[in-house]
Amino acid sequence: MKHLVILTGAGISAESGLSTFRDNNGLWQNYDAMELASLQGYRNNREKVLEFYNARRKNLLTVEPNHAHHVIAELEKDFKVSIITQNVDDLHERAGSNNVLHLHGELRKVTGSMNPNNPKCIKEKPLDEPIVIGEKAADGSQLRPFIVLFGESVPNIPAAKKIVAQADIFVVIGTSLNVYPAAGLLQYVPASAPGFLIDPGEIDSYEALNYHHIKTKAVEGIDILKDFLADKL
């Protein structure tokens, strides 16, 4: 089976009702990312950051995977599919995808503030249970969302580079490719792998210049992609 590697961003979850970040009315148009999603912001005001992520966690209970998530899950019948997502929602998993690598963390999980990547501290916490000040992780530090905050390293990047380097076909769906190191993964795609981009907007990423751009929303573009892939089985 050919290895289909798919890099996804907020755009793929837009049709499920989750905001993107940099579109008009995106999350960072209405909230200050440095205040609510950065390590410094968390240090300055833990309550405010916890409140922001508790709201996003609770909101995740109200949304469902969309057609794009489901078609990607079905592609596992014909391809070895590896998803590398910048998204912190669990919609790929809920649609039935089995190989999902999260670069920026997961809303479903929590960890400790002392060393957020300590495996002993990372655990699931029900989405309707808020994370509160005074709640401790296994290492005794304040419990926090298992989210990579701006200013923190992205521990899954080495694993992601290895996956991308093994792609027979590479697909980018719903990301502005504004945020590194995630956007830098395109440099590791083998020259032999055809590239596809599904996004209704313009993408000014140099690396994606020769990708076949399916200029639609993910829920429509995924069916066009499926037709392209039919003769690449």
Active site residues: 104
Q: Which residues pair with 5 in a beta bridge?
A: 82, 170
State how far the Cα of 30 lies from the Cα of 124, in Å rounded to an integer.
28
Q: Which contacts qualify for 27-36: CB closer than 8 Å, 24 or more apart? A: 33/150, 34/150
Part of the chain binding ligand APR (CB under 6 A), chosen from 21-29, 48-56, 73-81, 106-114:
21-29
φ/ψ of 101, rounded to 5, equals -110, 120
Query: Which of the residues 152 through 181 are near ligand APR (CB under 6 A)?
Result: 174-176, 178-179
Minimum separation from the CB atom of position 78 to ligand APR (A): 22
Part of the chain binding ligand APR (CB under 6 A), chosen from 16-24, 128-136, 185-193, 207-215:
16-24
**Residue 41, interface with ligand APR (CB under 6 A)?**
no
Part of the chain binding ligand APR (CB under 6 A), chosen from 3-11, 49-57, 111-119, 188-196:
3-11
State how far the Cα of 233 lies from the Cα of 229, in Å rounded to an integer.
7
Listed in sequence order, the residues at least 6 apart from 17 whose beta carbon sits closer than 8 Å to its beta carbon are 62, 63
Minimum separation from the CB atom of position 1 to ligand APR (A): 26
Residues that bind ligand APR (CB under 6 A): 9-12, 14-15, 20-23, 26, 33, 86, 104, 174-176, 178-179, 198-201, 217-218
